[in-house]
Structure 1
Amino acid sequence: MLALAVVVLAGCARTGDGAVEHPAGVDEAEVYAAVLRRYLGTPSENSFPDRAFPAVYVLDQAHADAADPAGPSPSVTPITADTQRAVVAALDGTAKVVFVATREAVVETRDGCAQVMDGGILVTLGPPRGDEDRVTVAVNGFVACLGATWLTYVVRHDPGTGWRVTGTTGTMAVA
């Protein structure tokens, strides 16, 4: 776990006050929409084959260590209301996405197991890290007490087609 945490945290660019810096020239909404489209549409990466989530809840702040199962750290960056609206619009027809302020708003305990309400998934995103051509975005998806994944996507920008996920990097954890 320690090695995973070191790998995940090594890529963070931080300001003197601990805030994560965002790369210039990166449209966060496009990047996040590409990441969510890939994650939700790839069962081998979200660990739920044959399942379309009726509700997709996304935390309204990016966690630098979203791909670290040992997280969370106090380093969070708000996802702006404009970015949230753009992501929801970009995914309209693909998934019903709702941004939420806290995990507790959508996770309930039934029969001793924490679960996302309405048969949904709670996604925590990391801030894009990289440059205007290539970024990485950490992702955690939580469904229930024994249903979660952590991974980091590589997202590349093509001037003709925009941002798209080209693969993963680092370790992937499944619970």
Structure 2
Amino acid sequence: MRRRPVLAIVAGAVAVAVLGTAGCAAGGGTTAAVAETAAAELPAGDVKKAEVYAQVVRTYLGTPRDNSFPEGSFGTFYVLDRAQPGASDLPDQPERGIPIAPKVQQHITNALAGMGQVVFIADQDAAFREGTLCPEVKDGGILITLGEVVGDDHEVRVAIHGFVACDGATRLTYVVHNQPDIGWQVTGTTGPRTIS
């Protein structure tokens, strides 16, 4: 396998209002409805991870200042099926990541259905067009690599890295709070933000 850039998630400050409007505009339904669906279909230990990842990816894709592209630019979202422990370090061997459970993947896919097609992949090379000197995501899509969910039952941090092409990649870390009667919501970012 050729060495390729790997997507990772890192923190930065993001307006909560963007998350709310992105969720409604995308037809993703309310956070409470998403949480209820997750609770009904997932093992208890995976509910938080599913809800947090769905909110993180929704916010990232719906926030042009985070992904560097106008809203609605991507019809296909390739997501690496393993979370990267050192997301900000951009490891070159994604197979060392922590697997995202199939039911968690399905929850994320369902939650983002109104935004575009979510395709989980085991090998990041599956997202790239062939015959290009510099890696470029096929089908006008974006490759997303998620970091681990780090924190407690009240606040977590999740790194995210989005890659479109050599000159089109961003990295940041979201802060996500568990809010009463609402569920997990992105409230901002933390740490460095990288744009290339």
Class of the TM-score when normalised by the shorter of the 2 chains: 0.7 to 0.9
> What's 2:183 paired with?
162
Is the counterpart of residue 46 in structure 1 residue 67 in structure 2?
Answer: yes
CA apart distance, 1:72:
4.0
Structure 1 residue 81 corresponds to structure 2 residue 81: no
Are 2:79 and 2:120, in contact at CA under 8 Å, matched by a contact in 1?
A: yes
One-letter code aligned to 1:86: H
User: SS of the residue aligned with 1:27?
Assistant: helix
Aligned partner of 2:127 in structure 1 is 106
1:19 is matched with: none
Write out aligned runs for 1:23-38 (5 A): 27-38=48-59
Distance 1:51 1:158 in 2: 28
Taking only aligned residues, the RMSD between alpha carbons, in angstroms, comes to 2.0
Taking structure 1 as the reference length, what is the TM-score of the superposition?
A: 0.80
Output the CA distance in 2 between the equivalents of 1:25 and 1:102: 23
Output the amino acid matched with 1:83: V
TM-score, length basis structure 2 = 0.72
Secondary structure of residue in 2 paired with 1:94: coil
Q: Partner of 1:132: helix, strand, or coil?
A: coil
Structure 1: runs of 5+ lacking an equivalent: 1-7, 9-23
Task: Give 1:65 deviation, angstroms.
Answer: 1.9
Q: 123, 138, 153: which one pairs with 2:174?
A: 153
Residue in 2 that maps onto 1:5: none
Query: Percent identity between the aligned chains?
Result: 49
Indicate conservation of the 8 Å contact 2:86/2:147, yes or no: yes
**Counterpart of 1:171 in 2: which secondary structure?**
strand
Q: 2:117 aligns with which of 87, 96, 111?
A: 96
Unaligned runs of 5+ in 2: 1-9, 11-44
Shift of 1:110: 4.4
Aligned CA distance change for structure 1 residues 30 and 143 (closer, same or farther; 3 Å): same
Once the two structures are TM-superposed, the CA of residue 146 in structure 1 deviates from its matched residue by 0.9
Give the aligned residue type for 1:108.
R
| Greater RCO, 1 or 2 (C-alpha within 8 Å, sep 6+) | 2
* Contact 1:26–1:131 (Cα < 8 Å) also in 2: no
Q: Which amino acid aligns with 1:136?
A: R
Residue 84 of structure 2 contacts residue 146 of structure 2 at CA under 8 Å; is this kept in 1? Answer: yes
Q: Secondary structure at the match of 2:159?
A: strand
C-alpha displacement at 1:111, in angstroms? 4.4
Q: Aligned-pair distance for 1:174?
A: 0.7
Question: What is the correspondence of 1:54-69 to structure 2 with a 5 Å cutoff?
Answer: 54-69=75-90
Task: Please report how far the alpha carbon of residue 68 of structure 1 lies from its aligned counterpart in structure 2 after TM superposition.
Answer: 3.1
